[in-house]
Every structure is written in structure tokens, then in C-alpha cells.
Structure 1
Amino acid sequence: TPHIVHWVGLDSEVTDEQHAAHPDLQMYPIAATAVVPIYHLPNATSSDPPLVLSRGVLADVFRSVITRWDDERIAAENPALVALGRLPAADILVVVQSDNSSTTETFRRALTAFDMDGFGRQVGVSPGPEWGNSSVYRCNSASF
């Protein structure tokens, strides 16, 4: 006999396929969390202004369209850091989790919403380690 489940705790959304198979499922959100991209700007000091990245620029960094700290789009959003000489002529090393993760799924869902035509088509939403053609470094979550 099938098992009847009354409550399940999930940290990612029910897929369309799951909901179609069980249309009586109800979702009851009980918590919210933040997913925060972390950066290390090699030449920056603690007294410098923080790095500013628009949603589109962030999506382009994670899909390897923007690959250098001194990219004109990053520079345009950070004139104070440019004036201080803090945007080096150096590659950006992007690190992502190599295992399935609901955090990765949430982050990719946001980047897809920010840039559907670019990030959404090239990378898309999933909890997995595939990042399309992006040249990102994959690291297991225990290494973070």
C-alpha cells in the first residue's frame, strides 16, 4: 500500500511535474533566507566603498560574459573604486558549489529573473552543478 504523507519539509520549490502529479499539494511557507554573493576585491581596503554590481552585471559575471575586474561595466558602476585604483586588470575567479544545492537553485532562479535572455537561456534554474558555458570553478560545499 502507498504511504500517505501529511507533512514534508522542503528547502526548494515543488516542481511543476510534482504539482501536476499531486494537484492537491499545498505549500505553506514558514521561513525566508538570503542568498548573498561574496566577493574578494584584491586591491580593496576596509575603508573603501563597497563594490556595486547591478543585477545584469552580476548575472554576466556568473555566466562568464564579464571576466575581469576592470571591465567597463563594473567600472561604470564603481567610479569611486576606479578613482582609488581598486579595480585591477585581473581575471575574476568565480566559485560555485559542485553538488546539488537548494541555495544554488535559489541563486540561479534570481539570476535568471535578472537576465532571462542571457543567464536564463545559457544557464537557467536547477540545483545542480551545471553552469552552461560559464568558466566557473566548482568546489564542494564543505570547502566553503
Structure 2
Amino acid sequence: MVATAIGRKKCYFGAGYWHDADKPAVGAIILNDEGRYISTLNAPLPSCSSPLMAEAFAGKEVLSWLWNHGERSLDLFTYCLTLQQYLTSATTPVRSYLGYAIDACRARIISFDYCSVVFIPRIDNFLVHTLASSAFTQSIAMYWDSVPPDSVSEHFE
């Protein structure tokens, strides 16, 4: 996992997209500045037409979860370079469902005291991919505070 400023939490997130079933899902994990576990989310997402749209929907879901979780200053890590570029550039995406999802992410990001969006290789974000993949069969969002779910717990022992 990537180091950040002392005291600032890290949130890793990503989407899974099961194309044949048109099922997107999200996984996210919050760590403290020392890499210790704080909380996890995984959830199915609304149907969408592409992996990029799934990533944008995942971003919306994660940013809302972080806000509702009381997080206001953090570094946000994604393995989707295109989404990271959309969220950090001044360019406005095309008016589409994707564009509206990205606009919603940007609006939430600016409401935080501090929120950087950082690209990392997928291999460095494998825990959230595991979490997202396990949400394909769920009907609701699942949250784990203090104790990680079994699917990733071995990484925090």
C-alpha cells in the first residue's frame, strides 16, 4: 500500500464488473496513516454499460460512504487511470450518465476538507478487487468497522 502524509487516512476503492451478467460492484477499504485497518465497504451497484461507468458509480458510492462515515481529510486511491484523470482535471466530461456520475464525484470531493485522488497499479489495490468481486452475489451493501471481513482479514493480522 502507498504511504501518505502523517495523520491522513487512505481509502482504496475499485469496481468489479461482471460483463456477462451486467453486474457491477464496489469494494473499498479505509486505512489509517500507518496502514492499520479502519473500515470496509462492498456493495452491488446499479446496472451500467461499461467498466468505466462502474468505476464512476463506485466512486460516487465510496465518496458518499466516506462522508457519512465522518471522513473529511484523506487520500483516495484508484486503479482506474481514466477515472483518476477525469476527477483531477478541469475538463468536463460529455453530458451522459458517465458525465453525471463524474460530476457527482467531483461535487462530493470538493466538500471534503482535503481529498486527493491518486492512481495506483491494480496489483497494489488487490484487496478492493477481492471485496468488489464478493459483492456480485449480494443484494445490499455490507460494512465492516473495526474487524475486516474474512475475505481480506489475513492481510491485517
| TM-score, normalised by the number of residues in structure 2 | 0.22
| TM-score, normalised by the number of residues in structure 1 | 0.24
Which has a greater percent of strand? Answer: 2
**Structure with the greater alpha carbon radius of gyration:** 1
Q: Which has the higher contact order (CA 8 A, sep 6+)?
A: 2
